[in-house]
Amino acid sequence: MTSAGTRQNPDSRPAHARESASQAGELARRIRERDWRALAKAITIIENGSPEAAELCAALFPHTGHARVIGITGPPGSGKSTLVDALTGVIRKDGRTVSVIAVDPSSPFTGGAVLGDRVRMQRHAGDPGVFIRSMAARQAAGGLAPATRDVIRALDAFGSDVIVVETVGVGQVELDVMKVADTVIVVTVPGLGDGVQTIKAGLVEIADCFVVNMADRPGAAQSVADLKTMLTLGGAEERRRRWVPPVLETVALTGQGVEAVWEACERHHRVLEQDERMGRVRERLRQEVVESVSRAIVGRVEDALRENGALEGVLGAVMRREIDPRSAAELIVSQYLRR
Amino acid sequence: MTSAGTRQNPDSRPAHARESASQAGELARRIRERDWRALAKAITIIENGSPEAAELCAALFPHTGHARVIGITGPPGSGKSTLVDALTGVIRKDGRTVSVIAVDPSSPFTGGAVLGDRVRMQRHAGDPGVFIRSMAARQAAGGLAPATRDVIRALDAFGSDVIVVETVGVGQVELDVMKVADTVIVVTVPGLGDGVQTIKAGLVEIADCFVVNMADRPGAAQSVADLKTMLTLGGAEERRRRWVPPVLETVALTGQGVEAVWEACERHHRVLEQDERMGRVRERLRQEVVESVSRAIVGRVEDALRENGALEGVLGAVMRREIDPRSAAELIVSQYLRR
Can you tell me the ipTM of this complex?
0.74
Torsion of CA B90, B92, B95, B99, to 10 degrees: 120
Chain A nearest C-alpha distance from B230 (Å)? 17
| Partners of residue A202 in chain B, C-beta under 8 Å | 109
Q: In what order do the strands lie in the sheet with A183-188?
A: A130-136, A98-104, A162-167, A68-73, A183-188, A209-212, A247-249
Asked whether A115 and A104 are in contact (CB, 8 A), the reply is yes
DSSP, collapsed to helix, strand or coil, labels residue B261 as helix
- Residue B7: predicted pLDDT: 43
**A66 vs A172 pLDDT, higher one:** A66
Judge: A62–B322 Cβ closer than 8 Å, yes or no: yes
Work out the average pLDDT over A59-81: 91
Residues 6+ apart with CB under 8 A from B177: B71, B73, B103, B105, B144, B145, B148, B165, B167
| pLDDT reading at A149 higher than 50 | yes
Judge: B337–A338 Cβ closer than 8 Å, yes or no: yes
Q: Which helix H or strand E contains A41, and what residues bound it? A: helix A36-48
What's the pTM? 0.65
Judge: B329–A292 Cβ closer than 8 Å, yes or no: yes
Q: How many CB atoms lie within 10 A of CB A273?
A: 10
- Residue B10: predicted pLDDT: 47
| pLDDT reading at A12 higher than 70 | no
Q: Which of A306, A308, A327, A331 to mutate to test the interface with B (most CBs of B within 10 A)?
A: A327
The tally of CA atoms less than 13 A away on the side-chain side of residue A336 is 28
DSSP, collapsed to helix, strand or coil, labels residue B119 as helix
| pLDDT reading at A238 higher than 80 | no
- Residue A118: predicted pLDDT: 47
| Partners of residue A326 in chain B, C-beta under 8 Å | 54, 57-58, 292
Q: How many CB atoms lie within 10 A of CB B281?
A: 14
Judge: B293–A321 Cβ closer than 8 Å, yes or no: no
| Partners of residue B64 in chain A, C-beta under 8 Å | 321
Q: Bridge-partner residues for A185, per DSSP?
A: A72, A209
Which of B211, B91, B61 shows the shortest CA–CA distance to B162?
Answer: B91
- Percent of chain A past pLDDT 90, that is, above it, reads 39
- Residue B3: predicted pLDDT: 41
Taking CA A166 as the corner, what is the angle to CA B193 and CA A290, rounded to the nearest 5 degrees? 105
In the predicted model, residues of chain B with pLDDT beneath 70 are 1-18, 105-123, 137-142, 169-173, 192-202, 234-241, 336-339
Judge: A61–B290 Cβ closer than 8 Å, yes or no: no
Cα separation, A111 vs B197, in Å, equals 12
The phi, psi pair for B58, rounded to 5°, reads -65, -40
Cα separation, A79 vs A252, in Å, equals 7
Asked whether A162 and A152 are in contact (CB, 8 A), the reply is no
| Partners of residue A203 in chain B, C-beta under 8 Å | 109
Which of B53, B50, B6 shows the shortest CA–CA distance to B27?
Answer: B53
What sign results for the dihedral spanned by CA atoms B85, B89, B91, B92? positive
Q: Which of A326, A331, A337, A339 to mutate to test the interface with B (most CBs of B within 10 A)?
A: A326
Express each pLDDT in A189-202 by its tens digit: 887 655 455 566 66
Asked whether B102 and B174 are in contact (CB, 8 A), the reply is no
Q: Bridge-partner residues for B186, per DSSP?
A: B73, B210
Domains of chain A: 1-63 (no CATH), 64-272 (3.40.50.300), 286-336 (no CATH)
Residues 6+ apart with CB under 8 A from B168: B76, B80, B102, B103, B104, B105, B106, B112, B114, B115
The phi, psi pair for A62, rounded to 5°, reads -60, -15
- Residue A183: predicted pLDDT: 93
Judge: A294–B293 Cβ closer than 8 Å, yes or no: no
Q: Which amino acid is at A278?
A: M
- Residue B204: predicted pLDDT: 76
Chain A nearest C-alpha distance from B158 (Å)? 16
Q: Report residue A114's pLDDT band, with 50, 70 and 90 as the boundaries.
A: very low
The phi, psi pair for B91, rounded to 5°, reads -65, -35
Judge: B62–A322 Cβ closer than 8 Å, yes or no: yes
The phi, psi pair for B113, rounded to 5°, reads -65, 125
Mean pLDDT comparison of A277-286, A325-334, B105-114, B151-160, highest-scoring range: B151-160
Which of A184-188, A313-317, B292-296 is the least confident region?
B292-296
Which of A65, A259, A272, A276 shows the shortest CA–CA distance to A160?
Answer: A65
Q: How many CB atoms lie within 10 A of CB A59?
A: 29
Judge: A298–B300 Cβ closer than 8 Å, yes or no: no
